[in-house]
């Protein structure tokens, strides 16, 4: 079999993948050495793509309510409801909420349908939650949403500053590139993040900034550079417009300890080749746009832009966040980097031959769901996103979905939190089936190519859009036969941007043949330095923007903690795909509440026990993890768990709906909160072949090899028979300690299910028991004991998911003399594959060596 060159469907690094199909639904994955974004590397998520391509959990037929339907009936219903809604309530009563996980072709079709044919601006995307602040900052500074850097700049930088980015977990291949630059040329690394993440641990300087302290810090840094005479007066005079009073007004209070500030300033002063990468710690804030501009201001003022190894570099989150921005998937943009000026509207109208051109911007995500809630929007089509879990104030979002007369959901998964509200569900093609293009963080366009036949009745997202458009009477404008047809039209439309001096120019692809499209090599629009010849503003100059730190809110004493939310290394958002991989699920099997020991003591929380987090918007329950990586007063929880994966761990319940006034992006990183212990009567864990969703107070489940592992807790009596499957059942009980263990095997002696419950004691370690699930002859005596008769060395928590190496094995290697990540890899194979676990191995080595040194002193 020949490998197919395609692109990873997860993060915005945009890694090239060589995929070799090995069976009906199986594939061998390797990094594409010829792809400039990754040069052969893949992280843990990319490496384990093969574990997510089975048809488990897929939506394979259109559904009307809970009934399977055929495409004609489903599409007739969608088009009929949409037509009636427009006729009765006008075009603004209809909205699309789409996603950076659509392909550019899907996005283009949906945008054209809404803005040119339905006649409303009401199409917004989950990129509103993700990239909107960076987009707004780029437009304010450069006149267009252009990222002025590329990955090569990381290779040639002498100083890399990461602002609000856990790069080692969220952009792991970019991280490996940073580590390579450090090794090769001694590049220095500064990490600005309130938490000591695995990224921050590796930095030369970690600045644990206060939440939203970034604008103050960057303003003070710029003032310091002015004092040191390091501002590039020539570049400023020639290429920038500086607002009156900019320097006089520049606030000069860094908000961080003086010695740290001096160290940071010295590093910045000494290294003209500085790249500042920023991500959600910058964007997801009530001052997110200002943070972007504070960073860009520094680079403009020092002339550190448009040349190798220098520039402000916003990293995109999703695989096609950038493509969506290009085609116009944000309600605040029209199409192809155009806005809503009369001449722009007129040109787009002519290009699309649009019968119902929209007249202005539509509602941004948070406002869009409010409009659904109060009945202004009555028809909502959601594609490739899970807002019932991922929007802030998800309670209101759920109420809105429950009230909305028509909710259409296009998804690859059958059961998502959002799908539960759908009147019509449309099965979409997933990664490995779909065909089209995506654009990564550095503006590089790559192909996603199909590997498998289309399963069931699933269809491409763009085709579904076209079929609905056809039923609305607009078949001709949506008559594309292939994704190449769509891409060609989109590329031709960028002429409207090019005519206006914008950098987004794909016109050379406007007449590409099917063969050109098929054989497209990854390419970058705008080249390495798109802004090098001048900025796309009327006078060709960039703008410095005066920014001030957001006003400090008066805090509610009943909510004394600041809740920060974000990501785990091996899970992707709402887990509909990564949650199906046993390997990826070993990294974190339950959502944790990370909290400083002082706070835990003050609020009575114990490490490993459960705790409730409450905000003004709702409450959720997590497993407590005490860590000095959190600053006192601040807590962190992951965004990933949903109602489909657990009873109480959905973080969307907690997040506030406050948004940045310029970009409309929600401030997910700083919600006032309180915590309290949860002390259930009993705790248990359950192994099952099929996913369990037991009716108990607390549960959360994780995929394991061969089935599912569910952690449970609750009050009062438990109906054990409802939990364990039928079969050959063995059981032990110790009524004094309230201990029950049940093991169920089938006729051949394979383990079919097990339950371990206690009211007062400990539960046995999970890993050995879980491993018996994928073995053929289970020993029920050993299983009831919770351990093998002949004791085995405890491997500890799994560190390397690729090669299945545990913490104890790593520590043993370190004790035996392995003092580098490479040496540990040679001894244990940990970290020798994708490399995502190298930062944690480095920490284990460092901790061991430090404690050995302390012991010696």
Ligand X SMILES: Nc1nc2c(c(=O)[nH]1)N[C@H]1C(S)=C(S)[C@@H](COP(=O)(O)OP(=O)(O)OC[C@H]3O[C@@H](n4cnc5c(=O)[nH]c(N)nc54)[C@H](O)[C@@H]3O)O[C@H]1N2
Binding site for ligand X (CB under 6 A): 11, 99, 101, 126, 129-130, 163-166, 169-170, 192-195, 197, 209, 211-212, 214, 279-281, 284-285, 317-318, 383-387, 390, 410-413, 416, 428, 430, 434, 461, 564-567, 569, 571-574, 576, 639, 651, 655, 668-669
| Structure token pair of residue 153 | 């700049």
| Structure token pair of residue 104 | 């550019």
573 binding partner (options ligand X, ligand SF4, Mo ion, none; Cβ < 5 to 8 Å by kind): ligand X
When the beta carbons of 564 and 647 are compared against ligand X, the nearer one is 564
The strand pair at 707-714 and 671-678 is best described as unpaired
14 binding partner (options Mo ion, ligand SF4, ligand X, none; Cβ < 5 to 8 Å by kind): ligand SF4
Integer Cα distance of 293 and 536 in angstroms: 17
Integer Cα distance of 419 and 826 in angstroms: 46
Contact 810, 786 (CB under 8 A): no
Please tell me whether residue 600 binds ligand SF4 under the rule CB under 6 A.
Answer: no
Q: Which residue is nearest to ligand SF4 (CB)?
A: 46
The residue within the footprint of ligand SF4, chosen from 43, 137, 397, 575 (CB under 6 A), is 43
Q: How far is the CB of 314 from ligand X (least distance, A)?
A: 10
When the beta carbons of 358 and 438 are compared against ligand SF4, the nearer one is 438
Cβ neighbours of 678 (radius 10 Å):
17
Please tell me whether residue 9 binds Mo ion under the rule CB under 5 A.
Answer: no
46 binding partner (options Mo ion, ligand X, ligand SF4, none; Cβ < 5 to 8 Å by kind): ligand SF4
411 binding partner (options ligand SF4, Mo ion, ligand X, none; Cβ < 5 to 8 Å by kind): ligand X
195 binding partner (options ligand SF4, Mo ion, ligand X, none; Cβ < 5 to 8 Å by kind): ligand X
Please tell me whether residue 130 binds Mo ion under the rule CB under 5 A.
Answer: yes
* E-assigned strand segments in 130-244: 159-163, 188-192, 205-207, 240-241
Q: How far is the CB of 13 from ligand SF4 (least distance, A)?
A: 4
Q: How far is the CB of 533 from ligand X (least distance, A)?
A: 31
Q: Which residues contact 758 (CB under 8 A, 6 or more apart)?
A: 682, 683, 684, 737, 738, 739, 740
Q: How far is the CB of 694 from ligand X (least distance, A)?
A: 23
Q: How far is the CB of 10 from ligand SF4 (least distance, A)?
A: 3
Stretch touching Mo ion by CB under 5 A, among 31-39, 125-133, 197-205, 503-511: 125-133
Contact 657, 396 (CB under 8 A): yes
Pairs from 174-183 (Cβ < 8 Å, separation ≥ 24): 174/13, 174/277, 174/315, 174/441, 175/199, 176/41, 176/835, 177/151, 178/154, 179/838, 180/155, 181/154, 181/155, 181/156, 181/157
Q: How far is the CB of 260 from ligand X (least distance, A)?
A: 14
430 binding partner (options ligand X, Mo ion, ligand SF4, none; Cβ < 5 to 8 Å by kind): ligand X
173 binding partner (options ligand SF4, Mo ion, ligand X, none; Cβ < 5 to 8 Å by kind): ligand SF4
Size of the site for ligand SF4 (CB under 6 A): 14
Q: Which residues contact 790 (CB under 8 A, 6 or more apart)?
A: none
End-to-end alpha carbon distance in the chain:
60
3-class DSSP assignment, residue 98:
strand
Q: How far is the CB of 280 from ligand X (least distance, A)?
A: 3
Does residue 353 come out as left (phi exceeding 0), alpha (psi in the -120 to 50 range) or beta? left
Site string for Mo ion, 313-352 (x = CB under 5 A): ----x-----------------------------------
The residue within the footprint of ligand SF4, chosen from 13, 178, 305, 702 (CB under 6 A), is 13
Please tell me whether residue 42 binds ligand SF4 under the rule CB under 6 A.
Answer: yes
Q: How far is the CB of 406 from ligand X (least distance, A)?
A: 17
Integer Cα distance of 137 and 292 in angstroms: 5
Integer Cα distance of 14 and 37 in angstroms: 6
The residue within the footprint of ligand SF4, chosen from 19, 35, 36, 46 (CB under 6 A), is 46
When the beta carbons of 187 and 571 are compared against ligand X, the nearer one is 571
221 binding partner (options Mo ion, ligand X, ligand SF4, none; Cβ < 5 to 8 Å by kind): none
Q: How far is the CB of 572 from Mo ion (least distance, A)?
A: 10
When the beta carbons of 565 and 809 are compared against ligand X, the nearer one is 565
When the beta carbons of 15 and 221 are compared against ligand SF4, the nearer one is 15
Integer Cα distance of 115 and 349 in angstroms: 9
Integer Cα distance of 780 and 744 in angstroms: 8
Please tell me whether residue 310 binds Mo ion under the rule CB under 5 A.
Answer: no
Size of the site for Mo ion (CB under 5 A): 2
The strand pair at 698-704 and 707-714 is best described as antiparallel
When the beta carbons of 121 and 317 are compared against Mo ion, the nearer one is 317
Contacting ligand SF4 within 668-707 (CB under 6 A): none
DSSP 115: I
- 288-301 and 132-142 helices cross at what angle (nearest 10)? 40
Please tell me whether residue 45 binds ligand SF4 under the rule CB under 6 A.
Answer: yes
3-class DSSP assignment, residue 595:
strand
764 burial (CB, 10 Å; 0-12 / 13-18 / 19+) is: middle
Integer Cα distance of 606 and 591 in angstroms: 15
Q: How far is the CB of 412 from ligand X (least distance, A)?
A: 4
Helix (H) or strand (E) holding 709: strand 707-714
Integer Cα distance of 643 and 650 in angstroms: 6
The residue within the footprint of ligand SF4, chosen from 143, 172, 312, 387 (CB under 6 A), is 172
Q: Give residues in contact with ligand SF4 (CB under 6 A).
A: 8, 10-11, 13-15, 38, 42-43, 45-46, 171-173
Q: Give residues in contact with Mo ion (CB under 5 A).
A: 130, 317
């Amino acid at each position: 079999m020949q490998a197919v060159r395609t692109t990873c469907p997860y993060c915005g690094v945009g890694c090239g993948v060589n995929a070799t199909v090995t069976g009906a639904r199986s594939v061998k994955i390797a990094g594409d050495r010829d792809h400039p974004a990754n040069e052969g590397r893949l992280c843990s998520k990319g490496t384990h793509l093969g574990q997510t391509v089975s048809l488990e959990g897929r939506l394979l037929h259109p559904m009307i309510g809970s009934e399977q339907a055929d495409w004609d009936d489903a599409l007739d219903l969608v088009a009929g409801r949409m037509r009636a809604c427009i006729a009765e309530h006008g075009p603004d009563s209809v909205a699309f909420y789409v996603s950076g996980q659509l392909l550019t072709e899907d996005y283009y079709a949906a945008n054209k349908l809404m803005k040119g044919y339905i006649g409303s601006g009401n199409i917004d995307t989950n990129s509103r939650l993700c990239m909107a602040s960076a987009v707004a900052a780029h437009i304010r500074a450069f006149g267009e949403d252009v990222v002025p850097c590329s990955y090569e700049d990381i290779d040639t930088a002498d100083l890399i500053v990461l602002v609000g980015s856990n790069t080692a977990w969220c952009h792991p291949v970019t991280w490996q590139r940073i580590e390579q630059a450090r090794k090769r040329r001694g590049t220095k690394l500064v990490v600005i993040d309130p938490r000591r993440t695995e990224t921050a641990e590796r930095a030369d300087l970690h600045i644990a900034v206060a939440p939203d302290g970034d604008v103050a810090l960057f303003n003070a840094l710029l003032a310091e550079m002015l004092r040191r005479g390091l501002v590039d007066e020539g570049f400023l005079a020639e290429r920038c417009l500086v607002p009156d009073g900019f320097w006089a007004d520049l606030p000069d209070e860094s908000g961080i300890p003086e010695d740290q500030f001096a160290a940071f300033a010295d590093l910045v002063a000494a290294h003209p080749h500085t790249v500042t990468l920023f991500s959600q710690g910058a964007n997801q804030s009530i001052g997110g746009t200002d943070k972007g501009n504070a960073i860009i201001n520094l680079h403009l003022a020092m002339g550190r832009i448009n040349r190798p190894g220098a520039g402000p570099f916003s990293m995109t989150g999703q695989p096609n966040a950038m493509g969506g921005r290009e085609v116009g998937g944000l309600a605040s943009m029209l199409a192809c980097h155009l806005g809503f000026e009369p001449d722009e509207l007129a040109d787009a109208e002519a290009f699309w031959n649009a019968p119902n051109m929209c007249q202005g911007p539509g509602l941004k995500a948070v406002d869009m769901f409010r409009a659904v809630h109060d009945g202004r929007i009555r028809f909502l089509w959601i594609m490739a996103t899970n807002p019932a879990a991922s929007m802030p104030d998800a309670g209101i979002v759920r109420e809105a979905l429950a009230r909305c007369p028509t909710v259409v959901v296009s998804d690859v998964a059958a059961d998502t939190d959002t799908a539960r509200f759908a009147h019509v569900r449309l099965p979409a093609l997933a990664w490995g089936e779909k065909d089209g293009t995506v654009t990564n963080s550095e503006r590089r366009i790559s192909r996603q190519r199909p590997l498998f036949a289309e399963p069931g009745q699933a269809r491409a997202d763009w085709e579904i859009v076209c079929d609905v458009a056809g039923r609305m009477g607009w078949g001709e404008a949506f008559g594309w036969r292939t994704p190449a047809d769509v891409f060609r039209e989109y590329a031709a439309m960028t002429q409207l941007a090019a005519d206006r001096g914008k950098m987004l120019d794909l016109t050379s692809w406007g007449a590409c043949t099917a063969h050109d499209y098929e054989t497209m090599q990854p390419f970058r629009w705008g080249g390495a330095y798109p802004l090098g010849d001048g900025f796309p503003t009327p006078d060709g100059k960039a703008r410095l923007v005066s920014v001030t730190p957001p006003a400090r809110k008066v805090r509610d004493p009943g909510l004394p903690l600041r809740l920060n939310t974000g990501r785990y290394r091996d899970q992707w958002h709402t887990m509909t795909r990564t949650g199906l991989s046993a390997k990826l699920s070993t990294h974190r099997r339950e959502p944790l509440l990370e909290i400083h020991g002082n706070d835990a003591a003050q609020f009575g929380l114990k490490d490993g026990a459960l705790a409730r987090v409450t905000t003004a918007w709702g409450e959720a329950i997590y497993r407590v993890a005490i860590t000095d990586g959190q600053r006192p007063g601040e807590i962190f929880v992951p965004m990933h768990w949903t109602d489909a994966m657990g009873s109480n761990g959905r973080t969307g319940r907690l997040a506030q709906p406050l948004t940045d006034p310029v970009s409309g992006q929600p401030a997910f990183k700083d919600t006032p909160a309180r915590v309290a212990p949860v002390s259930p009567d009993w705790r248990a864990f359950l192994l099952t072949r099929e996913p369990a969703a037991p009716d108990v107070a607390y549960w959360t489940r994780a995929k394991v090899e061969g089935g599912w592992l569910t952690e449970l807790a609750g009050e009062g009596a438990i109906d054990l028979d409802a939990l364990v499957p039928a079969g050959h059942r063995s059981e032990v009980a110790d009524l004094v300690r309230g201990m029950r263990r049940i093991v169920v095997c089938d006729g051949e002696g394979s383990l079919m299910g097990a339950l371990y419950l206690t009211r007062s004691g400990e539960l046995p370690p999970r890993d050995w028991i879980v491993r018996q699930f994928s073995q053929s002859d289970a020993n029920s005596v050993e299983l009831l004991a919770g351990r093998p008769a002949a004791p085995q060395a405890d491997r500890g928590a799994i560190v390397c998911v690729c090669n299945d190496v545990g913490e104890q094995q790593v520590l043993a290697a370190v004790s035996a003399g392995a003092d580098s990540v490479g040496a540990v890899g040679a001894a244990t194979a940990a970290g020798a594959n994708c490399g995502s676990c190298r930062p944690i191995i480095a920490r284990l080595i460092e901790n061991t060596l430090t404690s050995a040194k302390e012991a010696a002193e």
